[in-house]
């Protein structure tokens, strides 16, 4: 059995609609069942379904704290022994050092997000997080074109921003062959 005072970093990545937030909620609920103090975080500007909850596209929910940046996560973690962070790509490269701080304090940190943007480029903080993770789960979706294993998120709306909060209708999971990088 592992030493509970030693932190760890668990990374879950994949395209939109691959079940990342569902897996995060599952892990947080399992930790709660084992009497661990848990806390989940989401970016303040992700208000698709709720301001103070993580919500899956299927409607599963768990309370969350909205954070403006990675420093907010460290500052507001309190006595949590398990910290879940949704939409990691919205926090940028600063999230890597925030996760390291929490892990060094003995916290189990579960990070979820998109590894690739709508152009097919890697999102920060994933290069750094991948190297520091104790566990890496790469989920796949179902390509909406061919039914194959999707690793990309195809943006379906015109938008020039690298980050655009969206959901059903705004993005589709796509395999490498069917994915067309946005040129916006």
CA angle 128, 133, 138 (to 5 degrees): 95
- Write the CA distances from 87 to 34, 36, 90, 178, integer angstroms: 25, 22, 6, 24
Active centre residues (catalytic): 87
- Write the CA distances from 19 to 104, 135, 140, integer angstroms: 28, 17, 8
d(CA 159, CA 166): 11
3-state DSSP assignment of residue 9: strand
d(CA 167, CA 4): 36
3-state DSSP assignment of residue 127: helix
């Amino acid at each position: 059995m592992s030493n509970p005072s030693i932190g760890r970093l668990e990374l879950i990545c994949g395209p939109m609609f691959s079940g990342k937030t569902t897996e995060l909620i599952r892990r947080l609920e399992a930790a709660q069942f084992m009497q661990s103090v848990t806390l989940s975080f989401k970016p303040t500007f992700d208000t698709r379904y709720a301001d103070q909850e993580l919500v899956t596209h299927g409607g599963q929910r768990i309370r969350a704290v909205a954070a403006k940046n990675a420093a907010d996560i460290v500052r507001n973690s309190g006595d949590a022994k398990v910290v879940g962070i949704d939409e990691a790509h919205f926090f940028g490269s600063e999230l890597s050092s925030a996760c390291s701080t929490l892990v060094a304090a003995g916290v189990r940190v579960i990070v979820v997000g998109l590894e690739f943007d709508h152009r097919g480029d890697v999102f920060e903080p994933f290069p750094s997080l991948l190297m520091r993770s104790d566990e890496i789960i790469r989920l796949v979706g179902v390509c909406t074109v061919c039914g194959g294993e999707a690793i990309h998120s195809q943006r379906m709306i015109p938008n020039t921003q690298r980050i655009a909060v969206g959901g059903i209708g705004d993005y589709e999971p796509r395999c490498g062959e069917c994915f067309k990088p946005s040129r916006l």
